[in-house]
Amino acid sequence: MTTNQKQSYTVPFIIMVVLMSLVGLITSLNQQLQKPMEAAFLIKGGEYTNTFTTLLVFSFFLAYLVMGTVSGRFIEKNGYKKTLILGLSILVAAFGLYEISAYVFDKFDIVNFQATLDEARSTENFKYTGPIELPMAYYIFLLAAFVAGTALTFLQAVINPYIVACDVKGTSGVQRQTIAGVGNSTMTTIGPLFVTAVIFANQDVLNINITSLYIPILVLMLMVVVIIAVLPRLNLPTIASTEKKAGEVLTESVWSFRHLTLGVIAIFAYVGVEVAAGSNINLYATDLGFDLKTAGKMASLYWFGMLVGRLLGSFLSKVKANTQLMVTSIGATLFIVATMMTKNPWLLVGAGLFHSIMWPAIFSLAVEGLGRYTSKGSGALMMGVVGGAVLPFVQGVLADKIGGWDWTWLLVIAGEIYLLYYALVGYKVLKRDKGA
């Protein structure tokens, strides 16, 4: 490929970085909208309020499991570019559902909830004891989260390959992935502040107005529509197939590789503990009496720690992956234990730094020695992302059952301990498991 051809992919690469950043922002927004959604929709949630709240993150990450194979088949049949356009179109639909949810609550549901909201605002330490009642807007909001997760499932399946394929003079594929990763982490860090300071303008929890979503979501929607309009005219590189060679038969099940199977569980645990800490920190903080603005700062600093860690991780290339995972799992565990013992959510922020480099460490350990099974192994690992749906939700259920968030962090600690096990024992490749 000539230099001129490489230069022709500069604009597509920039757009891919923008899209990767958007993925980070949307993921963060969905998590940080938990508390505002709870305040607006779940005033009559009763003893299951935390359970209903964490269903938002559950719905979002469930899409990765449900739609993962669908996106793969769509790529095989229609190619990467059409998949990219479809993913963005689905994202526009998700934004529309968020808007509809806010509208339905403001125009229809509010009649049944206004009196309770007024009572909560005028009564110190208000606790609802009546029958559980959920507005229609809540269900639409959950649907919006699932659709947004579906959109990101399609987008992430194609953005990463495009980032590698978009040759830009003076860069390597790894460097381009790093640039995109920084963009993603930066927007994930900004997400909590975007929710508290921009969308809800530092509103008090009890005074949340869900219609504040209208303009910010509309702006994001229009931005995506513009990108969709530009994409058909964009000169994107052709991405070669990474599947097995034509006629090649893979005789073994990918699940027969012990270290890969344990690696899928490790990805499940990792994404679960990362999302549980990053999304439930604001629920935990407000439960302890912190205001929404301060809780948002905690979440932003948690994700900022992830960003810093990923930048520093580029200097750890000579450190073995299992050593990286061992040290980071121990470090994260210590911060979470300290948080639980002191009831100080600020300490939870420190776990973000240690969570930052776990993904590449687990991934590289899990695909080690797979040979021609590597592609299928990578697909299997992506199934573990559903941990981001399960662990935060289970933590919310436990918070309702126990009556607070303090001891629910034992669930997260259990996930960290499994990661330590994988770093010490589970990652080892058995001789019979080496793929050809």
pLDDT tens for 51-98 read 999 999 999 999 998 998 888 888 888 988 999 999 999 999 999 999
Q: Is 368 left (phi over 0), alpha (psi -120 to 50) or beta?
A: beta
Classify residue 280 by its DSSP letter.
H
Q: What is the DSSP string of 290-324?
A: --HHHHHHHHHHHHHHHHHHHHHHTT-TTS-HHHH
Q: What is the mean pLDDT of the chain?
A: 90
For residues 294-303, average pLDDT: 94
What is the rounded distance in angstroms from the CA atom of residue 347 to the CA atom of residue 336?
Answer: 7
Mean pLDDT of 165-177: 81
- pLDDT at position 259 is 94
Phi-psi region of 235 (alpha: psi -120 to 50; beta: other; left: phi over 0): beta
Give the contacts of 263 (CB within 8 A, at least 6 positions apart): 362, 363, 365, 366, 367, 381, 384, 422, 426, 427
For the segment 30-57, what is each residue's pLDDT rounded down to a tens digit?
Answer: 999 999 999 999 999 999 999 999 999 9
Distance CA(355)–CA(345), nearest Å, equals 16
d(CA 271, CA 268): 6
What value does the mean pLDDT take over residues 345-354?
96
Smallest CA-to-CA distance from 82 within 241, 243, 236, 244 is with 236
| Burial class of residue 414, CB neighbours in 10 A (0-12, 13-18, 19+) | middle
Distance of CA 429 to the CA centre of its chain: 29
247-436 belongs to which CATH class?
mainly alpha
DSSP state, 166? Answer: S
Pinpoint the residues of the chain covered by CATH 1.20.1250.20.
1-240, 247-436
pLDDT at 248: 52
**DSSP letter (8 states) at residue 384:** G
As a whole number of angstroms, the distance between CA 390 and CA 408 comes to 14
Residues 30, 60 contacting (CB under 8 angstroms): yes
1-240 homologous superfamily: MFS general substrate transporter like domains (1.20.1250.20)
pLDDT exceeds 90 at position 109: yes
DSSP 33: T
Is residue 236 scored above 60 in pLDDT? Answer: yes
Q: Which of 2-11, 166-175, 185-194, 417-426 has the lowest mean pLDDT?
A: 2-11
Confidence class of residue 139 from pLDDT cuts 50, 70 and 90? very high
DSSP 66-135: HHHHHHHHHHHHH-HHHHHHHHHHHHHHHHHHHHHHHHHIIIIIHHHHHHHHHHHHHSTT----S-----
pLDDT score, position 178: 77
**Whole-prediction pTM:** 0.88
Whether the CB-CB separation of 370 and 257 falls below 8 Å is answered with yes
